[in-house]
Structure 1
């Protein structure tokens, strides 16, 4: 009898310990197959560095980088209610204390922001969020291990001078067109 009591107690603690709050990861999973969204998962190999000499800082940034997840919603005149609803979901998720804002540009309704998850020198995720009523919104998750803000800047510089596999980015072209 005690054995069953322990099993029930353990199961209840297990379920009580699971977080039910929304997160970007859950949002990405829920919408990755949704026809209203464009979803991309990019591995570090999309940055072709074979013919590029890397500095020590760029090597370190590349080693700390695991993948990039992109989720974008293209807005048009027919889906403004859905756009506002989805944008509000993302804004609510990003208000959680685990997402720390680094900077913001633009106004409250249009613009962008950069967030991070982790501590100053041990960041696990950078989030870039941009939205504009005419185009839609995009959420980009840069996921890595023990990254810091300098790593992300070095990664961006590296992407500028390396060969990027543009074929993997084709789905985003529809979002960029007016």
Structure 2
């Protein structure tokens, strides 16, 4: 009887383990790679004067935890690697947990915005942008109970922000001179 219980428990554990790759796993795997630029940002990058923002703006900011950015710079010498990495991201984002909000595509470049959670209780926004001759970037906006309204409010707060550009310096490698 014990053997049967152990076998059943093992089967249950194996069945419950999802072998599909996740965006979090992709970030962890590639954040130390020389082919990628990885940044973790908090709302501290905004360097906001709290007296200059409204209660609504402050409440929206409170729902935001952090942003993870992972960028891959395309290399004309190895376009197959770019295509392979981009295909991995697209495959991960096909998972039903990522609900697509908007998608734009113009042939050589495109982008999409996804969310994880419920429409009024969003835990993660994912922005995926790519350009054939430049590369791609994935931005994970992590929070708790975010809403589309709070995201729009946060975007308006950017106008009041005194951004800490020093934290964004690693991304300059991706921008052509």
Query: TM-score w.r.t. structure 1 length?
Result: 0.91
Whether the aligned pair in 2 keeps the contact of 1:102 and 1:115 (CA below 8 Å) is yes
Give me the whole-angstrom Cα distance separating, in 2, the residues matched to 1:108 and 1:119.
Answer: 31
Query: Could you report, residue by residue, the CA deviation over 1:27-71 in whole angstroms, capped at 9, with x for unpaired residues?
Result: 111111111000011122222123651112211111000010000
Does 1:111 pair with 2:110?
A: yes
Give the equivalent residue in structure 2 for 1:29. Answer: 28
Superposition deviation, residue 148 in structure 1? 0.6
Q: Structure 2: state its 5+ residue gaps.
A: none
**2:151 maps to 1:146:** no
**In structure 1, how many angstroms separate the alpha carbons of the residues matched to 2:56 and 2:153?**
7
Q: Output the CA distance in 1 between the equivalents of 2:80 and 2:74.
A: 10
Alignment of 1:49-60 (within 5 A): 49-50=48-49, 53-60=52-59
Number of aligned residue pairs: give it.
177
**Cα separation, 2, equivalents of 1:159 and 1:52:** 15
Q: Distance in 2 between matches of 1:133 and 1:167?
A: 27
5+ residue gaps, structure 1, are none
Q: Give the distance between the partners of 2:107 and 2:90, measured in 1 at CA.
A: 10
Query: TM-score normalized by structure 2?
Result: 0.92
- When structure 1 is superposed on structure 2, of 158-167 and 47-56 the one drifting more is 47-56
